[in-house]
Structure 1
Amino acid sequence: MSTLSVPASGDVPQVEIIAVTPELAAKWLKQNTRNRHLRKRAIGDYARDMAAGKWRLNGEAIKFAADGTLLDGQHRLHAVIESGVAIPFMVVTGLANETQETMDAGRKRSAADAFGLRGEVNATVLASVLKRIWMWKQGDLKFSGNATPTTAECTELLKRHPEIYRSVEIAVRTHQAFRYLPQSVVGTAHHVFSAIDADATVWFFARVGDGAELSSGHPILALRSRVMTDRAEHRRTPDFQYMAYLIRAWNALRADRPLARIQQAADAPMPLPK
């Protein structure tokens, strides 16, 4: 369908399901004369899902006013162009122009919401750990958030790496015993360290949690001291620094090297676990 039929005045809006090609999306965007500023990250997120075949017809419509003005859907249409594939959409025409003011007024459903609806245990922690692991695997070692995973990408990551469930369990358990480290970072570190030495990872996080069997100069003791000091001094420590603390303690332990203090400047490169 290359043109939109406009209902006569007084008619109810019309609804169709249309396979929107990149060419059709470009044509419709010419009718985008009154809309919000584009969010490039949202377009990229949508386009990745579309290109990967993960986009689903979910009832969210591309909406047009009775005079043909595009009211809602500009990000999805730009994503169709970026993805280079045709995507089926519900398309609503014949709306009053003023209805645009009430569109997208609700809060976007997050990955945590989606996992919760599926009945996943610890859905919020699961979503946050998946997000951090996805970013780490993309090379965003400082969790800058320049690109973040969609719910579909989180789901696919969990499907490929079901062992992440165990990392989430350890993150929750460690936090219950020692509440000074973010669960999302602990779960991410557990997943990354487990790929290097699974047995050592078990002992490492058990000791991070309980602090037992640690003599003076032990790397985990230095780690626990550092994060407790940060909390006591009300320092605003970003997640990537917590990740760096864990990696520095892990690397020292693996090298059988004493560690009295852990430091990580904000502008320092992220250390890599060994």
Structure 2
Amino acid sequence: MEKNELTPAGSRFPLPSEPAILAVTPEMASDWLSYRNHPKNRPLSKAVSGRYQADMEAGRWTEATPEGLIFDTDGYGVSFQHRMKALANCSPEALAEAYGNPFLRFWIFPNEPREIFDVVDQGFKRTAAHVLGVKYAGHVGAAARHLAALADGDRWGMPRFPKITTPEIVRTFEAWPELTWYIKDIHATALDTGIPIGPHAAVLAQAARTAHRDRIPEWLKQVKTGANLGAGAPALHLRKKFHSGLPTGKGKRDLAYAVIVKAWNAYVRGTDMTVLRHMTTEELPKVVGFDFSQKAEEAA
């Protein structure tokens, strides 16, 4: 009998390019379980998935907790299968009655190294999130990963992003206290807009080291609510950019980061926008007032 190889490419539901909250339907859960379940994952426990399913259908499941669904750099699930099995077996009607929608929201963490399988399943090692020991540690770690990759100086992208090590993330976090200054509000903004937390926090950490630091709270308010903004407002364009989900395809991580930078730059410059986009032929934009080619100043 021919071996049935798992192929993430067969999935009809792509993963986001950066950590983000997604609405996951039973159909999506079934798809991911079929195409993205790594052959080396531990065997499924019917008892565990059954308990999860009962909680989900009864409305006892807490959505969008920091314990998200983790996928490796090839798109295979590292930590997800029991929750997805439970959700795949859920009745959409029961979910709609319990939560108001026929889906559940989960944090999705893509592009994680396969080596963390031992961490999440057996606890032999610690991830950067464990070491950081702060609120929203996973998202702060993702932002620190962006800053570490950007500091390499490749303005056409972040090719080393997946290879940034835990020690590098921790060192970057220690050098950038600004990463925690706005993370609560950035997280709240992501819940309402889908704007990925990692790159957004990385952009605002750089902005906090510029003369535009005082404008960050108003920016977050505009992006979160979208209220009373003109058609050309950069915050409104950024909201619309991620309204249908995160970018997909080649360069998706760079694209997500770049459009956030462009929107922020237009905001601080007082420039209206007609379109917010980033082409693969463009260099990654720099946060206005900050340059990685110069030694970053210590936070005030």
TM-score bucket (shorter structure): 0.5 to 0.7
Paired residue type of 1:163? E
Q: Is the 8 A contact 1:112 1:123 kept in 2?
A: no
- SS of equivalent residue, structure 2 residue 218: helix
Establish whether residue 188 from structure 1 lines up as the match of residue 202 from structure 2. Answer: yes
| Partner residue, 1:267 | 281
Judged with a 3 Å threshold, the aligned counterparts in structure 2 of structure 1 residues 162 and 254 are, in CA distance, closer, same or farther, namely closer
State the shift of 1:112 in Å.
Answer: 7.0
8 Å contact 1:245–1:263 — kept in the other structure?
yes
Paired position in structure 1 for 2:99? none
1:167 CA drift (Å): 4.1
Which of residues 135, 138, 144 in structure 2 aligns to 1:130? Answer: 144
Where relative contact order (Cα < 8 A, 6+ residues apart) is larger, the structure is 2
Q: Which residue of 2 aligns with 1:216?
A: 231
TM-score by length of 2: 0.49
Gaps of 5+ in 1: 1-103
Task: Name the CA distance, whole Å, in 2 between partners of 1:190 and 1:106.
Answer: 28
CA contact (8 A) 2:131 2:170 kept: no
Q: Identity over the aligned pairs, expressed in percent?
A: 17
Letter in 2 for 1:107: F
Q: Which residue of 2 aligns with 1:65?
A: none
In structure 2, C-alpha distance between the alignment counterparts of 1:137 and 1:106, rounded to whole Å: 24
* Residues 105 and 269 of structure 1, relative CA distance in 2, 3 Å threshold: closer
Normalized against structure 1, the TM-score is what? 0.53
Aligned residue among 243, 251, 256 for 2:270: 256
Quote how far apart the aligned CAs of 1:182 are. Answer: 1.4
Q: Cα offset for 1:118?
A: 6.2
Q: How does 1:1-274 map to 2 (within 5 A)?
A: 107=117, 109=119, 113-116=127-130, 119-141=133-155, 142-145=157-160, 148-179=163-194, 181-196=195-210, 197-229=212-244, 231=245, 235-236=248-249, 238-274=252-288
CA separation of 1:221/1:124 partners in 2, compared to 1, >3 Å: closer, same or farther? same
CA distance in 1, matches of 2:129, 2:254: 25
Rg larger for: 1
Ranges in structure 2 where 5+ consecutive residues have no aligned partner = 1-113, 289-300
Q: Distance in 2 between matches of 1:120 and 1:152?
A: 16
RMSD after superposition: 3.0
SS in 2 for 1:116: helix
Q: How many residues align?
A: 168
Looking at structure 2, the residues matched to 239 and 112 of structure 1 have their Cα atoms a distance apart, in angstroms, of 25
Q: Distance in 2 between matches of 1:105 and 1:136?
A: 23
**Aligned structure 1 segments of 4 or more residues deviating by more than 6 angstroms:** none
Q: Distance in 2 between matches of 1:252 and 1:121?
A: 30
Cα distance between partner residues in 2 of 1:220 and 1:153 = 32
Separation in structure 1 between the aligned mates of residue 182 and residue 151 of structure 2, nearest angstrom: 16
Query: CA offsets per residue over residues 50-75 of structure 1, 9 Å max, x none?
Result: xxxxxxxxxxxxxxxxxxxxxxxxxx
- The CA distance in 2 between the partners of 1:224 and 1:246, in whole Å, is 10
Amino acid at match of 2:173: L
